[in-house]
Structure 1
């Protein structure tokens, strides 16, 4: 109920904004503004999640960051309406922390990669409907089609958030943290997050994992212009572009059903390296897609889809398993804070780079993946204990 409208509108957002008359620079500014306020909200995400609980925080900020903006986007026809919606959407950083903990904390460590895989597959698999959206867009145009998807999506997401809140229960760690932080001031909770983050940086196993998480997030920001590049520089039509989420979804399903069951040892460190190698190969191939070559586009999309799905799955699982049991909210939030502040200028920078030389943006993406592969090499080769925090909550 989130993934179907969410996947469509996120994929077509750049073209929707273009259709509303926004320039490349304005789109870049919106990205940077969204990233800046994401950073501000992220500062308080861990503390709020501990004080209010995973379940309550997820519901409240899902409504604020998705339900309301979806209805605003449905009627956006100028820069300022998009700005308001993106400002509200930035509060989704509260959900990033709270929801990930809600679905993970009561799950055995060996099963967490499977949980992340299932969640990623559900979201990505919704892309099978993108060609249908592409057909409607071809007939009626980008603006009216995506506007309707935004509006229907707002209704669908709101129903989801309310029903999911009714069906779920607070995690064991969440109940402990609510009780512990009932009298803790939010600002004090923020300082606790950064103290724990500083401790994690001294762990030789944690540092490269944190760096991979941060830099791979920046790459996602750089990829924002991919759909515009395919249309404006390589000459692919809206209908062909609409098949990209479909190819991505089919690839994801095949990787989940045919490849992941064979990865029985669940060695997340090795699989993170493998996924980075696949992403690097895909991003290199992307640079050599001939204009209008459907076959090459399908091959590159398949490679990138497989690599990205594996990277998100095992990267997040590896990170979660390295964090302390009761301090996951604080540490995960602080990592998200650093990730947000580092990413802030990249929305605007990516717009500038694309405006100057579109292909340069994707050269940088390849170099970034190659660099992450080198950074990931030591992971798993150095024996190190999981980061155990000073706040043991009665352990």
Structure 2
């Protein structure tokens, strides 16, 4: 009976979704169970093997600078090789291999190598997104992004177990073992997903269009599509919002170090942060998203960024060592991030034309990376001088994002943004 009930729930969730979206959702947990805790604890891991906050910030900026290079190649490669094959080989290079490098990293140089390899995931960010979403009808896209974001966030429930292991065995041994397991698990997942997905209709057309072009010609074609971005109503404004949210995410890299070093929370206490994020995300997904479906995207983004600004301000007011207020505030920030990512991506894809989607999506990603390159190094330098100063800057950027969301909402009277889902 239990199996039948779970099967019924699964079918209802997947009802109306095409093959690629269903199977991407099915396999996503095998990525999330490793990536979610490892990305969360990564700054602690780097600190535990002797890296300074300045070096951690430099790694972040190096990663973004290399990501910018790979992002420029993402559109042409995705069009020439195909969404499916690009995703498989890109994931193996950008996730499987770096996992093993991180597992044995002893110094800054090893982390540089891993960051360089992992930066190539910007190519996969384009190919995977298109593989998953291109064959999905527009009204269903926010739903797909919401489910995928929910899966990754829910994997945060594993962090208390990782935190318990850290308290018993230490940060370095625990995370080395998890990186090794992640390298193996992700590799299995990538081949499995590749076997059960198919090239999209738009992907097939793009391959036909680009197969006769040389790589330089293909890149020039991409640049010509980028130059025409203004021809698509609302795309420039949504792109500006997208870029600024990526910049904010890079500034927030040091949140876990702020909670540990400045507010003096233990690794075990910090392990409950993602759990609170999961609880809020599930509530948002079940109770909030259905009610927001009736609202235009830009107005929804106003709400999400108002919550984000509130959380950023409250984080500066959390008393040292007080677990409950910290969990409430960080969970609020997690809910705001979940909503922002879901509706930001839905708004962006709604503005992309079916022809040239890979080129334009890659262009948005490239611009976001270019503008965010100095963010991590800047955050590391500010954090080293004044941890609270960094999070005051985050408040300012959050306020700017809210202002941009309000501007987008006002422009709905001239160019209405499409409904989310």
TM-score tier by shorter-chain length is over 0.9
Matched, 1:232 2:261: yes
Q: With structure 2 as the length reference, what TM-score do the two structures score?
A: 0.89
Q: Helix, strand or coil: the match of 2:407?
A: coil
Report the CA distance between 1:165 and its aligned residue.
0.2
Counterpart of 2:326 in structure 1 is 297
Q: Deviations over 1:336-386 (max 9, x none)?
A: 111111111112111111111111111111111111111122325243389
CA distance change for structure 1 residues 345 and 264 in 2, over 3 Å: closer, same or farther? closer
Q: Is the 8 A contact 1:280 1:369 kept in 2?
A: yes
Q: Is the 8 A contact 1:128 1:250 kept in 2?
A: no
Q: Is the 8 A contact 1:46 1:329 kept in 2?
A: yes
Counterpart of 2:42 in structure 1 is 13
Counterpart of 2:59 in structure 1 is 30
Deviates more, 1:185-194 or 1:290-299: 185-194
Matched, 1:210 2:239: yes
Whole-angstrom distance in 2 between the partners of 1:62 and 1:97: 12
Whole-angstrom distance in 2 between the partners of 1:186 and 1:353: 41
Whole-angstrom distance in 2 between the partners of 1:351 and 1:186: 37
Matched, 1:52 2:81: yes
Whole-angstrom distance in 1 between the partners of 2:99 and 2:139: 36
Counterpart of 1:308 in structure 2 is 337
Counterpart of 2:5 in structure 1 is none
Report the CA distance between 1:29 and its aligned residue.
1.2
CA distance change for structure 1 residues 82 and 284 in 2, over 3 Å: closer, same or farther? same
- Of the three residues 203, 208, 211, the one matched with 1:182 is 211
Whole-angstrom distance in 2 between the partners of 1:39 and 1:291: 38
Report the CA distance between 1:3 and its aligned residue.
0.4
Q: Deviations over 1:220-250 (max 9, x none)?
A: 1111111011100111011000111111112
Structure 1 unmatched runs, 5+: 388-395
Deviates more, 1:150-159 or 1:290-299: 290-299
Counterpart of 2:367 in structure 1 is 338
Q: Helix, strand or coil: the match of 2:391?
A: helix
Determine which structure has the larger helix proportion and give its number.
2
Structure 2 unmatched runs, 5+: 1-29
Q: Is the 8 A contact 2:232 2:351 kept in 1?
A: no
Counterpart of 1:162 in structure 2 is 191
CA distance change for structure 1 residues 386 and 56 in 2, over 3 Å: closer, same or farther? farther
- Of the three residues 116, 123, 130, the one matched with 1:94 is 123
Report the CA distance between 1:61 and its aligned residue.
0.5
- Of the three residues 212, 223, 228, the one matched with 1:199 is 228
Q: Deviations over 1:100-121 (max 9, x none)?
A: 1111111111110001001101
Whole-angstrom distance in 2 between the partners of 1:71 and 1:145: 14
Whole-angstrom distance in 1 between the partners of 2:95 and 2:336: 28
Whole-angstrom distance in 1 between the partners of 2:231 and 2:393: 29
| Structure 1 residue ranges, 4+ long, deviating more than 4 angstroms after superposition | none
Q: With structure 1 as the length reference, what TM-score do the two structures score?
A: 0.95
Deviates more, 1:245-254 or 1:33-42: 245-254
CA distance change for structure 1 residues 277 and 202 in 2, over 3 Å: closer, same or farther? farther
Alignment of 1:258-277 (within 5 A): 258-265=287-294, 267-277=296-306
Whole-angstrom distance in 2 between the partners of 1:345 and 1:378: 26
Whole-angstrom distance in 1 between the partners of 2:79 and 2:233: 27
Report the CA distance between 1:197 and its aligned residue.
2.4
Report the CA distance between 1:20 and its aligned residue.
0.6
Q: Helix, strand or coil: the match of 2:321?
A: coil
Q: Helix, strand or coil: the match of 1:101?
A: helix
Whole-angstrom distance in 2 between the partners of 1:201 and 1:225: 35
CA distance change for structure 1 residues 386 and 244 in 2, over 3 Å: closer, same or farther? closer
Whole-angstrom distance in 1 between the partners of 2:321 and 2:205: 57
Whole-angstrom distance in 1 between the partners of 2:201 and 2:75: 16
Q: Deviations over 1:83-102 (max 9, x none)?
A: 10110000000110000111
Matched, 1:147 2:176: yes
Matched, 1:76 2:97: no
Q: Aligned-pair RMSD on alpha carbons?
A: 1.5
Whole-angstrom distance in 2 between the partners of 1:32 and 1:318: 27
Q: Is the 8 A contact 2:298 2:417 kept in 1?
A: no
Q: Helix, strand or coil: the match of 1:214?
A: helix
Whole-angstrom distance in 2 between the partners of 1:213 and 1:5: 26
Whole-angstrom distance in 2 between the partners of 1:348 and 1:305: 23
Equivalent residues, number: 387
